[in-house]
Amino acid sequence: MRVLVTGGAGFIGCHLCDRLVAEGHEVVCVDSFKTGRRENVAHLLFHPEFKFVEQDITEPWFVDGPIDGVLHFASPASPEDYLQLPIHTLKVGAFGTYHALELAKAKQAVFVLASTSEVYGDPEVNPQPEGYWGHVNPVGPRSVYDEAKRYAEAMTSAYHRTHGVRIRIPRIFNTYGPHMRVNDGRALPNLMTQAILGEPLTIYGDGSHTRSFCYVSDLVEGVYRLLLAPNPEPLIVNLGNPDEVTVQQLAAEILELTGSRSEITFRPLPEDDPKVRRPDIRRAKEILGWQPVVPRDEGLRKTLPYFKEALAQLHVADRERKRLQLQAMG
Amino acid sequence: MRVLVTGGAGFIGCHLCDRLVAEGHEVVCVDSFKTGRRENVAHLLFHPEFKFVEQDITEPWFVDGPIDGVLHFASPASPEDYLQLPIHTLKVGAFGTYHALELAKAKQAVFVLASTSEVYGDPEVNPQPEGYWGHVNPVGPRSVYDEAKRYAEAMTSAYHRTHGVRIRIPRIFNTYGPHMRVNDGRALPNLMTQAILGEPLTIYGDGSHTRSFCYVSDLVEGVYRLLLAPNPEPLIVNLGNPDEVTVQQLAAEILELTGSRSEITFRPLPEDDPKVRRPDIRRAKEILGWQPVVPRDEGLRKTLPYFKEALAQLHVADRERKRLQLQAMG
Question: Nearest Cα to B74, choosing from B176, B173, B162, B148?
Answer: B148
Distance CA A236, CA A45 (A): 32
Instruction: Write down the pLDDT at residue B329.
Output: 75
Contact A130, A238 (CB under 8 A): yes
- Asked if the Cβ–Cβ distance from A136 to B135 is below 8 Å, we say no
Instruction: Write down the pLDDT at residue B321.
Output: 79
The DSSP symbol for A117 reads G
Q: What share of chain B is helix, strand, coil (3-state, %, to 5)?
A: 45, 20, 35
Question: Nearest Cα to B75, choosing from B184, B149, B167, B176?
Answer: B149
Instruction: Write down the pLDDT at residue A249.
Output: 96
> What does the pLDDT profile of chain A (330 residues) look like in tens digits?
999 999 999 999 999 999 999 999 999 999 999 999 999 999 999 999 999 999 999 999 999 999 999 999 999 999 999 999 999 999 999 999 999 999 999 999 999 999 999 999 999 999 999 999 999 999 999 999 999 999 999 999 999 999 999 999 999 999 999 999 988 888 999 999 999 999 999 999 999 999 999 999 999 999 999 999 999 999 999 999 999 999 999 999 999 999 999 999 999 988 778 888 899 999 999 999 999 999 999 999 999 999 999 999 887 777 877 787 778 776
Count Cβ atoms below 10 Å from residue A289 Cβ, excluding itself. Answer: 8
φ, ψ dihedrals at A10, nearest 5°: -85, -175
Strand-pairing partners, residue A115, are A171
Residues of B in contact with A146 (CB under 8 A): 154
Asked if A145 is an active-site residue, the reply is yes
Q: Among partner residues B86, B139, B154, which is closest to A236 by beta-carbon distance? A: B139
Q: Quick one: which H or E segment has residue B172?
A: strand B167-172
Average pLDDT of chain B to the nearest whole number: 95
Contact B39, B61 (CB under 8 A): no
Instruction: Write down the pLDDT at residue B136.
Output: 96
- Residue B142 contacts A, CB cutoff 8 Å: no
Convert the pLDDT of each residue in A17-48 to its tens digit: 999 999 999 999 999 999 999 999 999 999 99
Instruction: Write down the pLDDT at residue B330.
Output: 65
- Asked if the Cβ–Cβ distance from A95 to B95 is below 8 Å, we say yes
Distance CA A212, CA B163 (A): 35
Determine the Cα angle at B69 with ends B64 and B75, to 5°: 90
> How far is C-alpha B93 from the geometric centre of its chain's CA atoms?
14
Convert the pLDDT of each residue in B187-241 to its tens digit: 999 999 999 999 999 999 999 999 999 999 999 999 999 999 999 999 999 999 9
Count Cβ atoms below 10 Å from residue A100 Cβ, excluding itself. Answer: 29
Convert the pLDDT of each residue in B104-149 to its tens digit: 999 999 999 999 999 999 999 999 999 999 999 999 999 999 999 9
Determine the Cα angle at A123 with ends A74 and A282, to 5°: 75
Q: How confident is the model at residue B5 (pLDDT cuts 50, 70, 90)?
A: very high
Mutation pick from A75, A90, A120, A272 vs chain B, by most beta carbons of B within 10 Å, is: A90
Instruction: Write down the pLDDT at residue A330.
Output: 65
A127 cis-preceded (ω within 30 degrees of 0): yes
Report the complex ipTM: 0.93
| AA identity, residue A54 | E
Angle between helices B187-197 and B296-328 (to 10 degrees): 70
Which domains, and CATH codes, for chain B? 2-179+214-242+275-294 (3.40.50.720)
Question: Nearest Cα to B235, choosing from B160, B179, B311, B185?
Answer: B160
The DSSP symbol for A194 reads H
Strand-pairing partners, residue A71, are A5, A112
Distance CA B281, CA A290 (A): 48
Residue B3: burial class (beta carbons within 10 Å; 0-12, 13-18, 19+):
buried
Convert the pLDDT of each residue in B15-53 to its tens digit: 999 999 999 999 999 999 999 999 999 999 999 999 999
- Asked if the Cβ–Cβ distance from B87 to A133 is below 8 Å, we say no
> How far is C-alpha B230 from the geometric centre of its chain's CA atoms?
24
What is the secondary structure of B105-171 as a DSSP string?
HHHT-EEEE-EEGGGGBS-SSSSBPTT---B--TTSTTHHHHHHHHHHHHHHHHHHHHH---EEEEE
Q: Record the pTM.
A: 0.94
Q: Among partner residues B86, B137, B150, which is closest to A147 by beta-carbon distance? A: B150
> How far is C-alpha B134 from the geometric centre of its chain's CA atoms?
19
Residues of A in contact with B141 (CB under 8 A): 161
- Residue B148 contacts A, CB cutoff 8 Å: yes
Residues of A in contact with B171 (CB under 8 A): none
φ, ψ dihedrals at B16, nearest 5°: -65, -45
- Asked if the Cβ–Cβ distance from A150 to B147 is below 8 Å, we say yes
Which 42-101 residues of chain A touch chain B by CB within 8 A? 86-87, 90-91, 93-95, 98
Instruction: Write down the pLDDT at residue B326.
Output: 78
Q: Would you state the torsion angle of the CA atoms of residues B272, B273, B276, B280, taken in this order, to the nearest 10 degrees?
A: 80
Distance CA B295, CA A115 (A): 45
Contact A185, A312 (CB under 8 A): no
Residue B96: burial class (beta carbons within 10 Å; 0-12, 13-18, 19+):
buried
Pairing of strands A26-31, A50-54: parallel
Instruction: Write down the pLDDT at residue B271.
Output: 78
Q: Cβ neighbours of residue B43 under 8 Å, at least 6 residues apart?
A: none
- Asked if the Cβ–Cβ distance from A161 to B136 is below 8 Å, we say no
Residue B267: burial class (beta carbons within 10 Å; 0-12, 13-18, 19+):
exposed
- Residue A185 contacts B, CB cutoff 8 Å: no
Determine the Cα angle at A118 with ends A117 and A119, to 5°: 90
> How far is C-alpha A328 from the geometric centre of its chain's CA atoms?
39
Smallest CA–CA distance, residue B61 to chain A, in Å, is: 16
3-state secondary structure at position B185: coil
φ, ψ dihedrals at A252, nearest 5°: -65, -40
Distance CA A241, CA A280 (A): 9
3-state secondary structure at position A18: helix
The DSSP symbol for A128 reads B
What is the secondary structure of A43-60 as a DSSP string?
GGTT-TTEEEEE--TTS-
Convert the pLDDT of each residue in B156-190 to its tens digit: 999 999 999 999 999 999 999 999 998 888 899 99
- Residue A121 contacts B, CB cutoff 8 Å: yes
Contact A223, A170 (CB under 8 A): yes
Residues of B in contact with A159 (CB under 8 A): 87
